[in-house]
Homo-oligomer: A and B are copies of this chain.
């Protein structure tokens, strides 16, 4: 890859800037991600490697860690490990998702609220107790009662639901909040997938009947599927979690499950829970039964959340060794317009008239509502610029030089396939938006084909582990018994070394149940088909999707 033409001074300047953080970062980053430290020591004038130094297929974890940094989606927070700074590239994607989802839940009648970030007791958050961040001092004074930062808000919100919900007229009662929560994970953290603080929305609703609650759980799940499929071009399988995998406090959990072809792992996308009456009984959230005057009725509750994890799934799925690949619908810059073919010989006059033509192209695209930027940076070769924008994931590159101008066309290159071509300037306003939608669809179709190909319906136990080792998830007849699920995890541990989340080779994990797909394959006969676990004597209740997973 070509390097920017720079004076050694400005190179030095860069190195100095990088050096400021290098020391602190090196230590943390090395611990966190076995990352090569960008930049170098103070005074070291070596240039920065802008590209990614490893391959997605040979070292997936390091590839991912480098990618999210170099594509400027996140920055490691060197002050405190397990925390990440979300940079504008990531916040743009999150805001597109937020606006899309918010518009739809408003139509459903969900209202917005904002509860405090602290709770004063760990009642009803036992599951999170080991991960609670406790504030014990204000200034230099000890608090009489320590307070914890919310890991989720059920225990913060539901006492007020008991107060606010007074009559069946108040139902459905639906609130959502956009905030961040803190879970002080002991486990390995990974940008977007597992962080000690993350952004999400949490919806908490109450209904008169189970039927009404169920309807909403599934409506929300369909919106979560829409975020993945329509915005992020990520195919998902909709289903129900098994008892072992559902939200502990809840009644049942619906989920959308994704798949990462590179390592064959399943990944949970988002969950929409029916809490049943468990919490309304704990917090005494009741209304008078409209059908039996005087009888009190515990409300049916749901909670549902979508977090910035979605960005990590999108990045892992579409991106490549050149860097990030963004679906056009969530790309802040959909088209990067790069003037080319100007040499030292080009006259000032020709430069000016070419610049004017570039301006016109920009205006045409802007008027066509295409999010376009022009790269007029001086001192950088086109080759450097191409690599830089590929790293940042811009879906479509348009090159425009005097030769193109003469033919009244622009030359383009697709980020997803590398495919090149030309578009007549006269058709720019229609062809470019079409091409962006073509890219959006191509990304989805490719991922969908791969997921379908690697979702194996198996009825032969001996094929299960080999299937996992060749990067598939499997759908098998299963009795749904928690103990049997545990045993299946044990039985499917493989001695063959596989890459773990920390990038180290390790004996690979056993398979977990991902979900009971709503869309069940044919051929399971109740009371006849056996659970596939050879040690299990029970009949199968359903086809269940299992896989190694995040």
Within the complex, what minimum Cβ distance (angstroms) separates A154 from chain B?
Answer: 14
Which B residues touch A114, using CB under 8 A? 85-86, 91, 180, 199
Residue from the set A13, A114, A284, A288 with the largest chain B CB neighbour count within 10 Å:
A114
- Cα A325 to Cα B115 with chains together (Å): 24
Q: Which residue of B lies closest to A379 (CB)?
A: B169
- A462 contacts B by Cβ under 8 Å: no
- Indicate with 1 or 0, residue by residue over A49-93, a CB within 8 angstroms of chain B CB atoms: 000000000000000000000000001011110011111100110
Pair B116/A83 contact, Cβ less than 8 Å: yes
Partner of A184, one of B139, B180, B294: B139
Q: How many copies does the complex hold?
A: 2
- Indicate with 1 or 0, residue by residue over A208-238, a CB within 8 angstroms of chain B CB atoms: 0000000000000000000000000000000
Pair A85/B113 contact, Cβ less than 8 Å: yes
- Given A80-B147, A120-B80, also A137-B138 (CB < 8 A): no
Q: Which residue of B lies closest to A145 (CB)?
A: B80
Within the complex, what minimum Cβ distance (angstroms) separates A431 from chain B?
Answer: 27
Taking CB atoms and an 8 Å cut-off, the chain A residues in 134-169 that contact chain B are: 134-140, 145-147, 149, 156, 159-160, 162-163, 165-167, 169
Pair B166/A13 contact, Cβ less than 8 Å: yes
Pair A167/B10 contact, Cβ less than 8 Å: yes
- Cα A199 to Cα B117 with chains together (Å): 11
Within the complex, what minimum Cβ distance (angstroms) separates A284 from chain B?
Answer: 7
Pair B14/A166 contact, Cβ less than 8 Å: yes
Within the complex, what minimum Cβ distance (angstroms) separates A286 from chain B?
Answer: 8
Residue from the set A88, A135, A182 with the largest chain B CB neighbour count within 10 Å:
A135
Within the complex, what minimum Cβ distance (angstroms) separates A21 from chain B?
Answer: 5
Within the complex, what minimum Cβ distance (angstroms) separates A88 from chain B?
Answer: 4
Pair A136/B137 contact, Cβ less than 8 Å: yes
Q: Which residue of B lies closest to A88 (CB)?
A: B111
- Given A85-B114, A133-B135, A139-B129, also A163-B21 (CB < 8 A): yes
Within the complex, what minimum Cβ distance (angstroms) separates A532 from chain B?
Answer: 38
Partner of A95, one of B9, B112, B118: B112
- Cα A135 to Cα B167 with chains together (Å): 40
Within the complex, what minimum Cβ distance (angstroms) separates A438 from chain B?
Answer: 28
Partner of A113, one of B87, B112, B130, B136: B87
- A124 contacts B by Cβ under 8 Å: no
- Given A80-B120, A111-B88, A160-B85, also A138-B134 (CB < 8 A): yes
Pair A13/B147 contact, Cβ less than 8 Å: no
Pair A113/B88 contact, Cβ less than 8 Å: yes
- Cα A156 to Cα B199 with chains together (Å): 18
- A428 contacts B by Cβ under 8 Å: no
Which B residues touch A120, using CB under 8 A? 79-80
Partner of A10, one of B9, B146, B180, B288: B288
- Cα A135 to Cα B132 with chains together (Å): 10
Which B residues touch A131, using CB under 8 A? 138-139
- Indicate with 1 or 0, residue by residue over A173-188, a CB within 8 angstroms of chain B CB atoms: 0010001101010000
Which B residues touch A44, using CB under 8 A? none
Which B residues touch A136, using CB under 8 A? 134-137
Within the complex, what minimum Cβ distance (angstroms) separates A92 from chain B?
Answer: 7
Which B residues touch A146, using CB under 8 A? 137
- A377 contacts B by Cβ under 8 Å: yes
Residue from the set A91, A121, A377 with the largest chain B CB neighbour count within 10 Å:
A91
Partner of A13, one of B95, B137, B167: B167
Pair A85/B116 contact, Cβ less than 8 Å: yes
- A243 contacts B by Cβ under 8 Å: no
Partner of A134, one of B13, B80, B135, B294: B135
- A197 contacts B by Cβ under 8 Å: yes
- A293 contacts B by Cβ under 8 Å: yes
- A463 contacts B by Cβ under 8 Å: no
- Cα A139 to Cα B296 with chains together (Å): 38
Pair A17/B95 contact, Cβ less than 8 Å: no
- Cα A156 to Cα B377 with chains together (Å): 30
Taking CB atoms and an 8 Å cut-off, the chain A residues in 300-330 that contact chain B are: none
Known: A80-B116, A86-B114. 8 other contacts (CB 8 A): A9-B288, A21-B160, A79-B119, A80-B147, A85-B113, A91-B112, A91-B113, A135-B136
Listed in ascending order, the chain A residues whose CB lies under 8 Å from chain B are 7, 9-10, 13-14, 17-18, 20-21, 75, 77-80, 83-88, 91-92, 95, 111-121, 129-140, 145-147, 149, 156, 159-160, 162-163, 165-167, 169, 175, 179-180, 182, 184, 197, 199, 284, 287-288, 293-294, 296, 377
CB-based closest 4 A-B pairs: A88-B111, A138-B184, A130-B139, A86-B114
Q: Please, could you name 17 A-B residue pairs with CB atoms under 8 Å apart, sorted by A?
A: A7-B293, A9-B288, A13-B166, A13-B287, A20-B163, A75-B163, A80-B118, A80-B145, A85-B113, A91-B113, A114-B180, A116-B197, A117-B182, A135-B149, A137-B146, A138-B184, A169-B377
